Amino acid sequence: MKILIINGPNLNLLGTREKSIYGNINFTEYLNNLKSQYQQIEFDYFQSNIEGELINKLQEAGFSFDGIVINAGAYTHTSVAIADTVKAISTPVVEVHISNIFSREEFRHVSFISPNAKGTIIGFGLHGYNLAIESFLLD
Amino acid sequence: MKILIINGPNLNLLGTREKSIYGNINFTEYLNNLKSQYQQIEFDYFQSNIEGELINKLQEAGFSFDGIVINAGAYTHTSVAIADTVKAISTPVVEVHISNIFSREEFRHVSFISPNAKGTIIGFGLHGYNLAIESFLLD
Amino acid sequence: MKILIINGPNLNLLGTREKSIYGNINFTEYLNNLKSQYQQIEFDYFQSNIEGELINKLQEAGFSFDGIVINAGAYTHTSVAIADTVKAISTPVVEVHISNIFSREEFRHVSFISPNAKGTIIGFGLHGYNLAIESFLLD
Amino acid sequence: MKILIINGPNLNLLGTREKSIYGNINFTEYLNNLKSQYQQIEFDYFQSNIEGELINKLQEAGFSFDGIVINAGAYTHTSVAIADTVKAISTPVVEVHISNIFSREEFRHVSFISPNAKGTIIGFGLHGYNLAIESFLLD
Amino acid sequence: MKILIINGPNLNLLGTREKSIYGNINFTEYLNNLKSQYQQIEFDYFQSNIEGELINKLQEAGFSFDGIVINAGAYTHTSVAIADTVKAISTPVVEVHISNIFSREEFRHVSFISPNAKGTIIGFGLHGYNLAIESFLLD
Amino acid sequence: MKILIINGPNLNLLGTREKSIYGNINFTEYLNNLKSQYQQIEFDYFQSNIEGELINKLQEAGFSFDGIVINAGAYTHTSVAIADTVKAISTPVVEVHISNIFSREEFRHVSFISPNAKGTIIGFGLHGYNLAIESFLLD
Amino acid sequence: MKILIINGPNLNLLGTREKSIYGNINFTEYLNNLKSQYQQIEFDYFQSNIEGELINKLQEAGFSFDGIVINAGAYTHTSVAIADTVKAISTPVVEVHISNIFSREEFRHVSFISPNAKGTIIGFGLHGYNLAIESFLLD
Amino acid sequence: MKILIINGPNLNLLGTREKSIYGNINFTEYLNNLKSQYQQIEFDYFQSNIEGELINKLQEAGFSFDGIVINAGAYTHTSVAIADTVKAISTPVVEVHISNIFSREEFRHVSFISPNAKGTIIGFGLHGYNLAIESFLLD
Amino acid sequence: MKILIINGPNLNLLGTREKSIYGNINFTEYLNNLKSQYQQIEFDYFQSNIEGELINKLQEAGFSFDGIVINAGAYTHTSVAIADTVKAISTPVVEVHISNIFSREEFRHVSFISPNAKGTIIGFGLHGYNLAIESFLLD
Amino acid sequence: MKILIINGPNLNLLGTREKSIYGNINFTEYLNNLKSQYQQIEFDYFQSNIEGELINKLQEAGFSFDGIVINAGAYTHTSVAIADTVKAISTPVVEVHISNIFSREEFRHVSFISPNAKGTIIGFGLHGYNLAIESFLLD
Amino acid sequence: MKILIINGPNLNLLGTREKSIYGNINFTEYLNNLKSQYQQIEFDYFQSNIEGELINKLQEAGFSFDGIVINAGAYTHTSVAIADTVKAISTPVVEVHISNIFSREEFRHVSFISPNAKGTIIGFGLHGYNLAIESFLLD
Amino acid sequence: MKILIINGPNLNLLGTREKSIYGNINFTEYLNNLKSQYQQIEFDYFQSNIEGELINKLQEAGFSFDGIVINAGAYTHTSVAIADTVKAISTPVVEVHISNIFSREEFRHVSFISPNAKGTIIGFGLHGYNLAIESFLLD
């Protein structure tokens, strides 16, 4: 089973900023934990701050991987283009948000991606990625 | 670990109606599967079509259980009262929706409960309840 | 032919309040007239001020009766849950409103039930129930 | 008893287009059935695609007929002028819609005519005209 | 000086309906008064319930008359087409409303014609037409 | 003088939760204070989390009591049905809110009940009930 | 006949600024013309940039004058207080706007005063004051 | 205990206009009653139609008085400036409205002052001032 | 190949008004050019200022012609009725606008016709009709 | 004549996905057809999923090419930046959409680019590019 | 060079209230610093809580001073009248806000003055006035 | 003191396009002037049309520079991602806009960046960058 995890803008700063909110684990460490935990899964990981590069990666993996986990960060709320890609590819995509986007600014309550996703997981911190992977194992 | 699962209006019809959408498993069968799978957890289950009875049950369990999983059905989108209860109790509450509410009517895109929930899981069918339980085990 | 008539909140006050608007016939009297008029029909009648009890009754009758006539009163404008039940059951449901809801407050112009109903009859006073029954006889 | 039936734009195409939705009976045939069924009523019928001609006809009949049944088609949602005429004349007007306008595009959910009508009947197909006529007989 | 007065839908009913609001003078009588009062002016008068005929008349007179007084009735609030004609012609157009449209339904607060009119006179009853004519004499 | 006090959803939790906001007095204690203070008044008290039970109680008392004090909690903002009952009964109803609803979420700024209430008292904590009772004594 | 003319904020600058729009006549000169033209009328004139002083003047004259002509300038669009005064006094008030407010910014399309005015005259330049005075003579 | 009562625009007309709504007591008489009733309280009273003078008075009293009762009249709905002053001063401010603002025009449903007030009392007529004073005595 | 070109309100004024915007060619001349250019096509042309006559013509040609090119002028933005006709007929309809409606008033940004059209061509001046015809030749 | 064709995000997937909607021709093949058809034109082609690269290309070509045809895909509805570039360059830009964006989700009904484009062509499938090129030849 | 600084409502309280937000310098002290710093500039200073007095001062200085710096406080968000004055006068006006109005309540995000100002400076505390003065020196 | 200046999309065209609006100085020249003027400051400069590259640069400099001046161009109004970066980094960011965005299209009135910026400077042309730098020197 091949799973791609894609992180959008500013998620490369995890663990180095606003630690009271996001904790002090950076995503690389966390990913290593995930890999140990799910050794039967082959992981690929991609992070970019550029909207179109997220699209490129989704297109590249989206016809051969078994699952994609995406946290599109701020592009969640503004990118029709990423949402279109999620719809166009054949690999199912699970959407994850670390924080509870519904208790933040109103413009974060809307996700263009959600209607096209297999499912959405919101507010569980980094555990959200675990749950997303579990969701693929449950099928 | 004691976990309460609460289902709101019309979820008692699962498995007997619109099978193409909701599958032909009724929730009782599904709950038995869950119990087998998580034998270390003590489950309580409650379903009601009456908004205030859901509140009563949340209040009753909400200061002693370790976790509550709620699918408030249509009350998700209209009940400030249930949302207030979720905020008032001390047990963490995970919100589940079987279908992808974001690809349905616009009035289903809003959840009064979400801002007060520990987390929200949307669109994974009955697997959403599994993931909600996993989320309590991950803490 | 079995037909259920369901009345929602405050409709139990018909005939005892605001007589200039609603007339001085209470619904029990009116129902007796209907029964005399349509002796070939077996009527059941239910009134409740509790949203969830209306749902319970709809579910109970909704897979065996030939028709349901509902006047959900104020819940018409706020209850997604009742509307979902109307959609989930197999018995066709006709929606009735005694007064002309379109010449009253703007929040009364919206009915969650209408899109799921077989048809809607508005503004004919108690005659609306007659017309609803006629509509089942016309099929 | 003299009753006028007025049909608005595109209703002259009934029976010749989109038969799966509107059935294959054209309105002339249907009207003959109505006439046979209600021989005590003197019917007049008018159809026009021109908004102002509908107004002219309403004015012409609106001080002498006993009832008017109007299906203003698309003008329902855009014509303040027809709604004003319905209010200005003394003959009571019953509004009919063949399809369930509340399960179609949002701009069809609003009727300028409804607040001024004696009553509104929606979603019963051609039977709606029957019910409208019944409503005059019930008075 | 040649002045055209154009009245829109339902204004032909003036004096025969809702006399408590509109008074019991019909417009023909009123027009005769105007003609006596302003003998130096050559009047033309046109009334139609058909939007497009109002446009036809505006186009016909709109390049040769000295002034046009229009009360477009309900079309005021819905007709972009009439407003476009008012803009396209060279004769200045004064807009009149008999009643105070700002103290009526909200959809009557908007006039497509106003931005293109020479000026607008609202709420003075039939005197509004007098004032409109005075406005041409003041230039 | 007979006065009914009705509390809506979650107000049964007063004094046991979020004490920094609501204080540590539960409503039963508070009610005893009120009774001592106003010995000339016969008090009835009712709390329910179920919308329809609040309606039932309002109907039961609403034609014989001298005054009703209602804090409908979250139903304030969502219940057209309770508001309709307040309008239908003959006993005057005073609306109370413990917290300042105008400095909280926007959906709490709207009360369906207010237009039908004798008066509204907001933001004085439990003292609001005192003031409501005073308002009946002032008449 | 006693008529008060009230001008609101910035109208004291007429004739000294933006002459291409407002012309180069200041209001004092214009008022002198009016006085010559209507010698049978006793005029009072008041201008202030202070909202409350306009209210004071309206109250002072509003129970004894025969008519008031008001151009409230920018307060037209923001002052509920002036509109309330217009409603409270017994003298009829005619509202005038020099420019066509409907072809300017959207916030100028709304007048709080209009629903309470005897009538409204818009877009005729300074001639609007003439027409307002004529309207009192027509009664 | 020193209490200031501030009345905003048009409240100086109380008792002389629209007596069916506001009664025929003017505020001076009413204030004398209040003074007799609460002899332990030192009252100051201020009325102005000028928004900024209300601000001046609030600032003047707002750091030394024990309580302020304000009925800002129409400025309630439009004045951010007064609301800011209420927030800036240290004396607690209770907001009073004589009429039920929620059953009037929609623009009267919003109060900029409410979120900054100690509490708000609406719809009790002049008794509202009594209740406001009681609220200070209850602390 | 038979193609009908339909022009809506005010398009009969092309070439005689606002020449800086619309050029000085009237549509008859332009149509002659089109006919010379596309001699293999049989053209029919219809212009009316009356909404319902446009509907009549669409119905008349809409089951036998190979293509219809419509510029509904101002009715584009207000006529649900024309849009319904475009949907009801079997001939494909191409929508043309001479000017760039998206750089004009906001109410011109919406077309009821577009969702039902084969395609829409905007902003190319009279060349838009050429392109519409080309679009039929490309099929 | 030099013409640049620019395609935005996900248009590189044409012909390989959702063939029932978009057909099974990929854009490279289609471009070859265009080149054969219009041998007098020198074509340049650019596709990118990155918003800023589309801007870079527009700037690069936008002062020397004779025409640009752009299908900005999803960026059409979200990119003010691309729209600004279209306005800033001197080469005229024609906007093309393959599908009928007006019969899809509401957020696709808005194009930031349209007001700045020479013209817009919507809903003709790949033929839209042909028509765009024709539009340059017609000048 | 003559520069006028105008402060609106509640800014006279600077330094005596909410010191954690606004600091403990009152504006008079601050103004003395400015005067020392810019000895080549002749300063005038005006503060008022009365909207119309701010207008009077703007008119008085607005045709002779070289620059005006205005912080209209709460009137920024509600006063069309002040904005009109800023547009009418010939002296350029720079708008200053001490706090970041965009991170406060939504009604503070709108400034009627901004479109008419030479420029706007937001969020730099009292330094904003320095920057405003610098902006005049840069010309 | 190290200061980074970041310019967003299309600002590389300054001085070569629309010179009447933006002047004929390109930004490189202007930057040289700045460097001469503020020799005590070490400047870095970055321009990109790619949203994500602006984010990359902000992250790169955002933990070591003393100040950042950003003109995000069109991304100001659409990029939640850039706004999030501005919030995440520790270097204070001043936002500059050359033109008066409040007198342009409505979608330019909103800045996602402003709430997270140290301050915002709008409408002073290129002088805005000077003022931004001055703001850092004033601290």
Of the candidates D13, D48, D53, the beta carbon closest to that of I88 is on D13
Of the candidates A52, A78, A80, the beta carbon closest to that of J48 is on A52
pLDDT over 70 (residue F21): no
Subunits that touch chain J (at least 3 Cβ pairs < 8 angstroms)? A, I, L
**pLDDT number for residue J21:** 65
Instruction: Tell me the shortest Cα–Cα distance from F17 to chain H, in angstroms.
Output: 23
Contacts of J115 in chain I (CB under 8 A): 100, 102-103
* pLDDT band (50, 70, 90) for residue L139: confident
Sequence length of chain E is 139
Inter-residue contact A74 to A8 (CB < 8 Å): yes
**pLDDT number for residue E21:** 65
Any idea what the CATH number is for the domain that residue J29 is in?
3.40.50.9100
Query: CA triplet D101, D106, D108: central angle to 5 degrees?
Result: 40
Distance of alpha carbon G109 from alpha carbon H78, whole angstroms? 17
pLDDT over 70 (residue D21): no
Q: Which residues of E are catalytic?
A: 22, 97
Contacts of K121 in chain L (CB under 8 A): 119-122, 131
Mutate to test the interface with L, among J6, J49, J59 (most CBs of L within 10 A): J59
Mutate to test the interface with G, among H7, H16, H50 (most CBs of G within 10 A): H50
* pLDDT (mean) for F34-61: 97
The answer to whether E88 contacts I18, with C-beta atoms less than 8 Å apart, is yes
Distance of alpha carbon G42 from alpha carbon G67, whole angstroms? 11
**pLDDT number for residue B17:** 72
Please name the residue of chain C whose CA is at the shortest distance from the CA of residue B108: C80
> Chain-centre distance of CA I111, in angstroms?
13
Count residue pairs from E and G with Cβ separation < 8 A: 81
Of the candidates K18, K51, K77, the beta carbon closest to that of H51 is on K51
Sequence length of chain J is 139
Inter-residue contact B127 to B98 (CB < 8 Å): no
* pLDDT band (50, 70, 90) for residue L15: confident
Helix segments in C62-126, DSSP class H: 80-88
Q: What is the pLDDT of residues E70-106, one digit of tens each?
A: 999 999 999 999 999 999 999 999 999 999 999 999 9
Contacts of G56 in chain H (CB under 8 A): 49-50
Q: What is the pLDDT of residues G60-78, one digit of tens each?
A: 999 999 999 999 999 999 9
* pLDDT (mean) for B92-99: 96
The answer to whether J56 contacts L78, with C-beta atoms less than 8 Å apart, is no
The answer to whether B127 contacts A135, with C-beta atoms less than 8 Å apart, is yes
Of the candidates D109, D130, D135, the beta carbon closest to that of C127 is on D135
Chains H and L physically touch (3 or more Cβ atom pairs below 8 Å): no
**pLDDT number for residue C5:** 98
Q: What is the pLDDT of residues H89-131, one digit of tens each?
A: 999 999 999 999 999 999 999 999 999 999 999 999 999 999 9
Of the candidates G116, G122, G138, the beta carbon closest to that of E119 is on G122
Contacts of C119 in chain D (CB under 8 A): 100, 121-124, 128
The token pair at G19 is 């002459």
* pLDDT band (50, 70, 90) for residue F9: very high
**pLDDT number for residue I15:** 82
Secondary structure of L46-111 in the HEC alphabet?
Answer: EECCCHHHHHHHHHHHCCCCCEEEEECHHHHHCCHHHHHHHHHCCCCEEEEECCCHHHCCHHHCCC
DSSP D77: G
Active-site pick, G22, G38, G109, G127: G22
Inter-residue contact G82 to G50 (CB < 8 Å): no
Residue segments in chain K with a per-residue pLDDT below the cut of 70: 20-22
Instruction: List beta partners, residue E68.
Output: E4, E93
Contacts of J87 in chain I (CB under 8 A): none
Q: What is the pLDDT of residues C57-111, one digit of tens each?
A: 999 999 999 999 999 999 999 999 999 999 999 999 999 999 999 999 999 999 9
The token pair at K22 is 């606004």
Of the candidates A53, A56, A88, the beta carbon closest to that of J17 is on A88
Residue segments in chain J with a per-residue pLDDT below the cut of 70: 20-22
Q: What is the pLDDT of residues B41-66, one digit of tens each?
A: 999 999 999 999 999 999 999 999 99
Distances E24 to A54, E17, E28, E30, E103 between C-alpha atoms, Å: 73, 8, 12, 10, 22
H96 is in which domain, residue-wise? 2-138
* pLDDT band (50, 70, 90) for residue L25: confident
End-to-end CA distance of chain D: 12
Distances D48 to A16, D129, G118, I19, I72 between C-alpha atoms, Å: 72, 17, 40, 36, 19
The answer to whether G120 contacts E102, with C-beta atoms less than 8 Å apart, is yes
Strand-by-strand arrangement of the B42-47 sheet: A42-47, A2-7, A67-71, A93-97, A119-122, B119-122, B93-97, B67-71, B2-7, B42-47
pLDDT over 70 (residue B115): yes
Distance of alpha carbon L42 from alpha carbon L65, whole angstroms? 10
Contacts of K56 in chain G (CB under 8 A): 49
Farthest CA pair distance, chain L = 40
pLDDT over 70 (residue E12): yes
Distance of alpha carbon E64 from alpha carbon E42, whole angstroms? 13
**pLDDT number for residue F24:** 78
Pairing of strands H2-7, H67-71: parallel
Instruction: Tell me the shortest Cα–Cα distance from D57 to chain E, in angstroms.
Output: 10
The answer to whether I102 contacts J124, with C-beta atoms less than 8 Å apart, is no
Q: What is the pLDDT of residues H2-59, one digit of tens each?
A: 999 999 999 999 987 777 666 778 898 899 999 999 999 999 999 999 999 999 999 9
Instruction: Tell me the shortest Cα–Cα distance from F133 to chain H, in angstroms.
Output: 10
The answer to whether B74 contacts C81, with C-beta atoms less than 8 Å apart, is yes
Number of domains in chain H: 1
Phi, psi values for residue D121, rounded to 5°: -130, 120
Residue segments in chain I with a per-residue pLDDT below the cut of 70: 20-21
Q: Which residues in I have their CB inside 8 Å of a CB on E?
A: 8-10, 12-13, 17-18, 48-53, 73-75, 77-78, 107-108
**pLDDT number for residue A4:** 98
Q: What is the pLDDT of residues A15-73, one digit of tens each?
A: 877 776 667 788 988 999 999 999 999 999 999 999 999 999 999 999 999 999 999 99
Helix segments in I1-139, DSSP class H: 19-22, 27-37, 51-61, 80-88, 127-138
Give the ipTM of the model, two decimals please: 0.95
DSSP J76: G
Instruction: Tell me the shortest Cα–Cα distance from I55 to chain J, in angstroms.
Output: 21
| Catalytic status, residue I75 | no
The share of chain D scoring above pLDDT 90, in percent, equals 88
* pLDDT (mean) for D37-45: 97
The average confidence (pLDDT) of chain F is 94
| pTM, to two decimals | 0.95
**pLDDT number for residue A21:** 65
